[in-house]
Structures are given as C-alpha cells and as structure tokens.
C-alpha cells in the first residue's frame, strides 16, 4: 500500500466535544422530530420543575429529559410503569456523551385519538371566542347561595362541603347531583346546571362544577361541546374544579374561574367568615368615630347659638332703657312747651288789657294740670308709689292673674331694683326667691 493510500485510510482525529456536537447534528438531521412509545421508568421531578426519566421496552432503554416549559402542560401526573407516547428531539448530552430524548409533549399510550379530538374541539371553541378573558366574570364577594354540581358518590362532594362548612357555614349550598363519568354524564351535567340557572329561592350567585382526578377517558364528559356552551350561557359565574392541578378539560376553559382542585374551587367561591367579621368590626369603628365627630360639631354649633342668644334679664334691661328714654323725651317736651307758654304770657301781659289776663291765667292753670298728668305717667313715679312691673320668663309684661300658674317664675321691677319670684298659688300670691 502506498503512503498516499495509507494517509487516506487513516481516521480523522476528533476532539471529544466536537464529535459529540457532530453526532448531535447527525441525529437531528436524520431523526428529528421523533415520536417514541414506551414505559416510564425512574421518573423524577426536580425543584426547578424539570422532569427526568427513562423510556424503555423489551429491547431497549432511552434517557429522557422534559424541561419545565413542557412539563407544566401535562394533563396528568406520570408515574413509573405508565405506557406513554412522547414527541421530542434526539440529542447528545455533551457533558457525559449520553444519548437522550428531549421531550416536548407526553401523553398516555392509546389516548391519541381522544387527545387529538380534544385539541380540535378546543381550537374550534377558542376560535368562536368562548374562552375570551373579557367575557369572564369576577366571583361575588358574598354569595347568597352556592350551587354545586357533582356526583353524590364522589369524594369531591365531601371535600367541597367540608371546605364550605369550615369557611362559610352561614351560606346555603344547593346541590344539583349529576353523573360525572360515563356515556350519560354530559346529559346529567346539562340538566343539573340548567336547574340551577332556573332557581330563584335561594338566589344562587355562583356555581361550582367539580369532580376528582382521572384519566382523559374519566374526564371526557367535561369536554362535551354542548356542556361548554351551556357553561358560557350561565347567568352567574361558574367555577370549574375538575380533576387535579395537571388535568385540563374544555369546561375549565369555558368557566369564569378554573380551580386546580374541588377544594380550591370551594375556597375561591367563599371568603372565610372571619374575614368579613373583621371587616365589619373595622366599619363599626369608623362609624363610631364619624358619629362622635358629628356630635362634637353639633354641640359646638349649639354652644355658638346659645352664646348669641340674649338672656331674659338682658331683654328686660333693654325695655327699661327704652322706657327711661321715652320718659326723658316727655319731660323735655313738657318743659319746652311750658317755657314757650311763659314767654307768650309775659308778652300778652305787657300788651293786652287786664281782661285777657284772666283768660291767660285759666290757660296757665290747664297747662299746669296737663303737666302734672304727664308727670304722673312717668313709670318711675308709679313704682315709687309701691307698684311693681311684673314680667314672665319670656320678658313680656304680665297683666292678668289668669295667665299665671303655680311654679311659674316671675320677675318684679321695683323702684330700687328687681326681685325674682315664684307663683305659689292660684290666688297669685308671690314669694320672692332672690332680690337684686
């Protein structure tokens, strides 16, 4: 063999990492994407959410890795021994040089037709807008009654009733039983939902549609298209709590709220009673504070009004001042008139004969009598003669004994001051209580 031929037959020397990368490229070009059927072995889920397991059959075994972005889409919890179908891409884990299958989807073997039907129905209803978030309603904070659709023999019934009894024992629960599995289940679920829609007393404000977990066949009744449209037509919010956290049905997408479990559905529909009791206590405290502030404001207004109102004694003093002023005006008018008459008399005496002097004397006498009468009208002179001016609590003058009753307060104005008195009998006798 020549040197040239020897050189052509010698293998290429690869770096380990480069060879692993080349093998991975070759696998990708030759096989990917790939679908494999086998039995799960050594399944584990890391804290990061990634899943690792082996897929095996009678003649071989293949390491698999399912990263978190694909694992969260699982509709069941894989276990060792499950026969499954996976779709993914063959690759080489270069740090160890291991062949592995990066799983992008996983389903139970033999369920391919049902799953494809589920995906097609889901896509059609989603295109019609049945899953739109805009049409979904918020749950009532305090429902008057809670409707419950589930099987009488289901464990979900016990879980939901226990949760509601613990959280809101005061809210009535209306049970509409229905089969949740089997050929007749969709029709019974429809009948139970519609019976709750038509219920008027008690008024159901939210409906729980629940059942426990199971395979895709077990949950197939909740993928019924007529049931999905009936859920959308519900007059009140619907909470779907079907299966476990990894189970998804068409009913979950149509409901206003999807709960991971039946118990979670009950907890979402009813806030605990303790929360509302605390809220009511806070509102009561705020109301008490507001009422106290309002009462203080009104008391202050009353005090301001009282300070602006005059006391009865003040009104009496004002009346007395007015009487004094009128008396002074009368005196001044009488003196002025007398002076004018005197001047006129002197003039007449100087100019008129004696016969007119007598007439003037008579006029002067009448004038003096008039002056005397005016002076007698002075209230002060009346009080000097032993009389008193009586006023009631309202400051008005008392002129009739019949206006008085025993116990009435009376104030008497005398010549040298005032006296507070009380009526002690119907004969109008007065007993002074305080003299000022």
Q: What is the pLDDT of residue 434?
A: 44
- What does the pLDDT read at residue 310? 54
DSSP 306-365: HHHSPPHHHHHHHHHHHHHHHHHHHHHHHHHHHHHHHHHHHHHHHHS-HHHHHHHHHHHH
Q: Which residues of 130-143 are buried (b: 16+ CB within 10 A; e: fewer)?
A: bbeeeeeeebeeeb
Would you say residue 426 has pLDDT above 60? no
* pLDDT for the residue 351: 62
Q: pLDDT of 321-372, one tens digit each?
A: 888 888 888 888 877 777 777 777 676 666 656 666 677 778 888 888 887 7
Instruction: Give the residue among 144, 199, 150, 201 at the shortest CA–CA distance from 177.
Output: 150
Of the spans 32-36, 45-49, 273-277, which averages the highest pLDDT? 45-49
Q: Tell me if residue 145 falls in helix, strand or coil.
A: coil
- Copy the structure tokens of residue 6: 């020897």
Residue-wise pLDDT tens digits, 384-396: 777 787 888 887 8
Angstrom distance (rounded) from CA 343 to CA 357 = 14
Give me the percent of the chain exceeding a pLDDT of 70.
82
* DSSP helix/strand/coil, 83: strand
| CA distances (Å), origin 48, targets 52, 66, 143, 253 | 11, 11, 39, 27
Residue-wise pLDDT tens digits, 48-79: 889 999 888 888 888 899 998 888 888 778 88
Mean pLDDT of 184-189: 94
Take residue 41 and report the two structure tokens written for it: 């072995």
Predicted local confidence at residue 9, as pLDDT:
61
Flag whether pLDDT at 185 surpasses 60.
Answer: yes
> What would the DSSP string read from start to end of 170-229?
TS-EEEEE---SSTTHHHHHHHHHHHHHT--SS---EEEEEE----TTTTGGGG-HHHHH
Indicate whether 106 pLDDT > 70.
yes
The topology under which CATH files domain 3-110 is OB fold (Dihydrolipoamide Acetyltransferase, E2P) (2.40.50)
User: Angle, to 10 degrees, between the axis of helix 112-127 and the axis of helix 225-232?
Assistant: 30
- Does domain 143-271 bear CATH number 3.30.230.10? no
**Do the two domains 3-110 and 143-271 of this chain adopt the same fold?**
no
What are the residue boundaries of the structural domains of the chain, listed by start?
Answer: 3-110, 143-271, 388-436
For residue range 40-53, what is the model confidence (pLDDT) as tens digits? 888 998 888 899 99
396 contact partners, CB below 8 Å, separation of at least 6:
none
Contact in structure between 251 and 240 (CB atoms under 8 Å): yes
Over residues 206-233, mean pLDDT: 90
pLDDT of residue 364: 84
End-to-end CA distance of the chain: 154
Query: What does the block give as tokens for 243?
Result: 């299966």
Q: In the predicted model, what is the mean pLDDT of residues 390-406?
A: 83
- What sign has the CA pseudo-torsion 270, 275, 281, 284? negative
The pLDDT of residue 428 is: 46
Q: Round the average pLDDT of the chain to a whole number and report it.
A: 81
Distances (CA, A) of 235 to 39, 200, 256: 46, 12, 11
Q: What is the mean pLDDT of residues 104-127?
A: 81
pLDDT at 209: 95
Higher per-residue pLDDT: 23 or 82: 82
Cα dihedral across residues 356, 360, 366, 370: positive or negative: positive
């Amino acid at each position: 063999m020549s040197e040239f031929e020897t050189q052509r037959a010698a293998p290429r020397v690869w770096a380990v990492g480069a060879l692993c990368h080349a093998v991975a490229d070759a696998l990708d070009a030759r096989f990917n994407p790939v679908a494999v059927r086998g039995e799960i072995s050594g399944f584990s889920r890391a804290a990061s959410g990634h899943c690792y397991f082996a897929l095996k059959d009678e003649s071989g075994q293949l390491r698999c890795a399912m990263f978190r972005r694909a694992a969260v889409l699982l509709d069941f919890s894989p276990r060792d021994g499950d026969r499954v179908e996976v779709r993914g891409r063959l690759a080489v884990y270069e740090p160890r040089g291991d062949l592995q299958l990066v799983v992008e989807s996983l389903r139970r073997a033999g369920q391919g037709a049902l799953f494809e039907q589920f995906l097609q129905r889901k896509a059609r209803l989603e295109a019609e807008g049945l899953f739109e978030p805009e049409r979904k309603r918020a749950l009532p904070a305090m429902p008057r009654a809670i409707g419950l659709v589930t099987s009488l023999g289901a464990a979900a019934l016990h879980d939901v009733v226990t949760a509601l009894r613990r959280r809101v024992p005061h809210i009535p629960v209306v049970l509409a039983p229905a089969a949740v599995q089997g050929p007749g289940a969709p029709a019974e679920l429809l009948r139970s939902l519609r019976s709750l829609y038509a219920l008027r007393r008690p008024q159901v404000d939210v409906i729980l549609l629940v059942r426990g977990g199971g395979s895709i066949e077990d949950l197939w009744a909740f993928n019924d298209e007529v049931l999905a449209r009936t859920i959308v037509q519900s007059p009140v919010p619907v909470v779907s709590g079907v299966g476990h956290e990894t189970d998804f049905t068409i009913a979950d997408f149509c409901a206003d709220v999807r709960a991971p479990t039946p118990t979670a559905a009950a907890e979402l529909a009813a806030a605990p009673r303790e929360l509302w009791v605390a809220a009511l206590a806070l509102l009561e405290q705020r109301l008490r504070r507001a009422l106290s502030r309002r009462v203080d404001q009104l008391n202050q207004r009353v005090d301001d009004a009282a300070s602006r109102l005059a006391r009865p004694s003040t009104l009496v003093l004002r009346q007395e001042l007015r009487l004094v002023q009128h008396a002074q005006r009368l005196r001044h008018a009488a003196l002025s008139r007398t002076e004018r008459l005197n001047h006129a008399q002197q003039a007449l005496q100087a100019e008129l004969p004696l016969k007119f002097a007598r007439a003037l004397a008579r006029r002067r006498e009448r004038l003096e009598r008039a002056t005397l009468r005016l002076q007698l009208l002075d209230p002060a002179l009346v009080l000097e003669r032993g009389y008193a001016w009586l006023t009631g609590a309202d400051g008005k003058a008392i002129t009739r004994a019949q206006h008085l009753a025993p116990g009435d307060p009376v104030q008497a104005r005398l010549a040298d001051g005032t006296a507070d008195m009380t009526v002690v009998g119907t004969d109008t006798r007065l007993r002074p209580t305080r003299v000022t």
